[in-house]
Chains A and B, each alone.
Chain A
Amino acid sequence: MRAIYKKELRSYFTSFLGYLFIAFLLIIVGIYQYLYNLRGEYANFGLAVNGTTTFFLLLVPMLTMRILAEEKRQRTDQLIFTAPVSVERIVLGKFLALVTVFAVAVAFICVYPLILHNYGAVNYSVAYTTIAAFFLLGCTYMAIGMFISSLTESQVFAAVMTFIVILFTLMIDMLVQMLPTGHVLAFCVLLGLALIVSVITYVMMKSKIVTGIVAVLSVGGLAVAYFTDPDRTRFDGSLAKVFGWLSVQSRFALFPREIVDISSYVYYLSMIFLFVFLTIQAIKKRRWEA
């Protein structure tokens, strides 16, 4: 794990990529700090960080696109996956290297509120809880980016897909508002989702039994939940709720408003865990098929 971690970290800092990422991030935070805090004269540093989150759209793919796709393309995966190191440790080493590059940038950002202190009273608790959430949000996006990179040999494809997925998470709140709230439609859409999950299960596992169990449980569960409810209101607004779970970005929005939401931290940590886990599974699965 250490060998992979060191190699990745070195590759970010011997090429311009690591420096570019950090510099880009710091410049953006600087610009927002100037706009909100210095020119706008808000004492809330969280606002500056909040503005920066949109730029994950560009920053994250830049860092994650090559992380696994490139190993596959240049066949060096044959070296690392035949070394006496488990897939788990390789993926973890790579992810920690990503987190480290990001942490360097965040460490610099931690200095910004201190500078701001020269110009007036700064609410440190808001500033640093927001920075912590910003860090976790970034790590979540990077875990997603790494997962996407593990699915392909093409850096470009990985970058574009990561861009689209992050864009989707940014737009999801807006999209949710357009969703109908009626229970009949909600039931139908959820039923469709259950079928999609079943199809994905079949594609991934090629097992009719497992797929059958998944399909029966999900479809049956929905049907029971829907039809046992006498006034059928149980599904009112449920679509918005389901899609709301995917809204990585909206969990962040509370922090700059001086609300510390511990559940958001937990949410991000679970998402990170989920996508690191999915990356490991994707690699293991490919070794069965390839």
Chain B
Amino acid sequence: MITVEHLVKQYGDFRAVDDLSFTVEKGEILGFLGPNGAGKSTTMNMITGYNSATEGDVTINGFNVYDEPEKAKRCIGYLPEIPPVYPDMRVKEYLRFCTELKEIPKKERAAEVDRVMELLHVTHMQNKLIKHLSKGYRQRVGLAQALVGNPEVLILDEPTVGLDPMQINWMRNLIRSLGKEHTIILSSHILFEVNAVCDRVLIINHGKKIIIDTPDNIIRTLGGTSGVRLVVRAEEEEFRKAVESIPNIARCDRLEEDPGDGLTAYAVYSAERGEIRDRLATMCAERGFALFELNAIQKTLEDVFIEMTGKGDTI
């Protein structure tokens, strides 16, 4: 459905996008994840044919975006980072213009405008000037624009930015339901969102692909159960020594939580992937530490993301 091959965008000496390749299957929602400035918007602008690529190719539905731009663009609905709306137009007038711009047959235009307004719940705002709308409504009108003509492919650049929590939830549900009929690429720097909505996740940093897989697989292959949380009754120094005597342990941190009752909580990490819970349990039994809780620390996509992109400050 969408094929991106060896895409490069060069600005002078700076490579904003560096040899990016991936495919998105029909009916799939791909989450496009990366810190700010990773090249997400640049890539999306190239996929939609707004900007040209320095090298590489983008194919939508079999049409090359650069060789057959009009055919390819007909299959795409694009919601850029800033909704491309005219402040001096009324909502209905604007969507009407979009149906004309996207060459919807004349007879179907009115029905199409009504359909997208209904879908985005903006029908009651149809006669308002867009400059008088709140950010949330502007975003909705922007998405309505992308849905005009019911294109098979939707490219959504940070669709939930600037929305309040209620609207975010509503928007996510909408995107999920759109995913049944459309192929969607959705960019975000909110991991929870991508985890909740997307079938697969592509993580990029400095314009390079880091990984593309399902959220669960990413967590499994990169996360694993390398961390274990224990709640024990034990002298700290004695416990640390005992833990360090087990081979393959990277470090042992005392957690800030206070389980009370003279108990202490620790997080223990293994040096390599693999199970250490059994060994820890045996150790506690042998040394006579009373063990109250023992569970694996499940890595979240967030942990993986911070690990992969190498900086937590960008989230």
A residues near B (Cβ < 8 Å) are 2-4, 6-7, 11, 14-15, 74-86, 287-290
Question: A75-B80, A79-B98 are known contacts. Are A84 and B88 too (CB-CB below 8 A)?
Answer: no
Closest residue on chain A to residue B12 by CB atoms: A289
Kindly state whether residue B103 has any CB partner on chain A within 8 Å. yes
CB distance from B145 to the nearest CB of A (A): 7
Residues in A neighbouring B80, C-beta threshold 8 A:
75, 78
Given contacts A287-B51, A288-B52, contact A6 B82 (CB under 8 A): no
Q: List 12 additional contacts besides A79-B145, A82-B50; criterion CB under 8 Å.
A: A3-B100, A6-B97, A11-B88, A77-B50, A78-B78, A78-B82, A79-B78, A82-B78, A85-B103, A86-B70, A287-B50, A290-B51
Report if B27 contacts A (CB, 8 A): no
Q: Determine the distance from Cα of A40 to Cα of B82 in the docked complex, in whole angstroms.
A: 58
Please, what's the 1-or-0 string for B64-83, where 1 marks a CB less than 8 Å from any CB in chain A?
00000111011010101010
A79 nearest in chain B by CB position: B84
Given A287-B52, A290-B51, check contact A76 B100 (CB 8 Å). Answer: no
User: Could you tell me how many residues of chain B have their Cβ less than 8 Å away from some Cβ of chain A?
Assistant: 28
Is B192 engaged at the interface, CB distance under 8 Å to the other chain? no
- Whether B251 is near chain A, meaning CB under 8 Å from some CB there, is no
Q: Chain A residues with Cβ under 8 A from B69's Cβ?
A: 84, 86
- Could you tell me the distance in whole angstroms from the C-beta of B130 to the nearest C-beta in chain A? 10
> Could you tell me the distance in whole angstroms from the C-beta of B227 to the nearest C-beta in chain A?
43
Q: Indicate if the CB atoms of A83 and B51 lie closer than 8 Å.
A: no
B59 lies within 8 A of chain A by Cβ: no
Bound complex: CA of A82 vs CA of B102, how far in Å? 10
Q: Given A74-B86, A75-B84, A76-B84: A83 and B101 within 8 A (CB)?
A: yes
Task: Find chain A residues with CB under 8 A from B49 CB.
Answer: 81-82
Q: Which residue of A lies closest to B72 (CB)?
A: A84
Interface residue from A15, A82, A290 paired with B48 (Cβ < 8 Å):
A82
What separation, in Å, do the CA atoms of A83 and B145 have in the docked complex? 11
- Of B49, B50, B71, B76, most A-chain CB atoms within 10 Å: B50
Docked Cα-Cα span, A287 to B66, in Å, equals 12
Question: Which chain B residues in 32-59 approach chain A with CB under 8 Å?
Answer: 45, 48-52
B102: chain A residues at CB < 8 Å are 83-84
B85 within 8 A of A: yes
User: Using Cβ atoms and an 8 Å threshold, which residues of chain A touch B85?
Assistant: 74, 76
- Which B residues lie within 8 Å of A290 (CB)? 51
Q: Is A82 touching B52 in the complex (CB atoms < 8 A)? A: no
Which residues of the partner chain B approach A75 to less than 8 Å between Cβ atoms? 80, 82, 84
Interface flag for B87 (CB, 8 Å)? yes
- Cα–Cα, bound, A85→B49 (Å): 11
Which residue of B has the minimal Cβ distance to A3? B100
The 6 closest A-B pairs by CB, nearest first: A3-B100, A79-B84, A3-B101, A78-B80, A84-B73, A84-B70
Do the beta carbons of B103 and A84 come within 8 Å of each other? yes
CA–CA, A84 and B145, complex, Å: 14
Partner of B86, one of A76, A83, A86, A287: A76
Chain A nearest CB from B81 CB (Å) reads 8
A sample of 14 cross-chain residue pairs with beta-carbon separation below 8 angstroms, ordered by A number, consists of A3-B97, A7-B100, A74-B84, A74-B86, A74-B87, A78-B78, A79-B101, A82-B49, A84-B70, A84-B73, A84-B103, A85-B70, A85-B103, A290-B51
Asked if B82 and A80 sit within 8 Å, CB to CB, the answer is no
Contacts of A78 in B (CB 8 A): 45, 50, 78, 80, 82, 84
Given contacts A11-B88, A287-B52, contact A82 B100 (CB under 8 A): no
- Chain A nearest CB: distance from B90 CB in Å? 10
CA distance A97 to B289 in the complex (A): 84
Distance of A187 Cα from B232 Cα, bound (Å): 94
CA distance A4 to B71 in the complex (A): 19
**Interface of chain B residues 84 through 118 with chain A (CB within 8 A):** 84-88, 97-98, 100-103
* Residue pair B98, A82 in contact (C-beta under 8 Å): no
CB B174 to nearest CB in A, in angstroms, measures 20
Shortest distance between the CB of A236 and any CB in chain B (Å): 45
Contact B97 A84 (CB under 8 A): no
Chain A residues near B51 (CB-CB < 8 A):
287-288, 290
Among A6, A77, A83, A287, the most chain B Cβ lie within 10 Å of the Cβ of A83
Q: A235 CA to B87 CA in the complex, in Å?
A: 55
Out of B48, B52, B101, which one reaches A85, CB within 8 Å? B101
- Name the residue of chain B whose CB is nearest to the CB of A75: B82
* A89 nearest in chain B by CB position: B70
Q: How far is the CB of A267 from chain B (nearest CB, A)?
A: 34
A83 contacts B84, C-beta separation under 8 Å: no
Q: Among the listed A2, A82, A287, which residue makes an inter-chain contact with B73, where contact means beta carbons less than 8 Å apart?
A: A82
Cβ of A2: which chain B residues have Cβ within 8 Å of it?
100
Checking A3, A6, A77, A84 against B74 with a beta-carbon cut-off of 8 angstroms, the contacting residue is A84
Residue of A nearest to B81 (CB): A75
Let me know if B82 and A82 touch, CB within 8 A. no
Chain B residue numbers with a CB within 8 Å of A84 are 69-71, 73-74, 102-103
Compute how far the CA of A95 lies from the CA of B245 in the bound complex, rounded to whole angstroms: 80
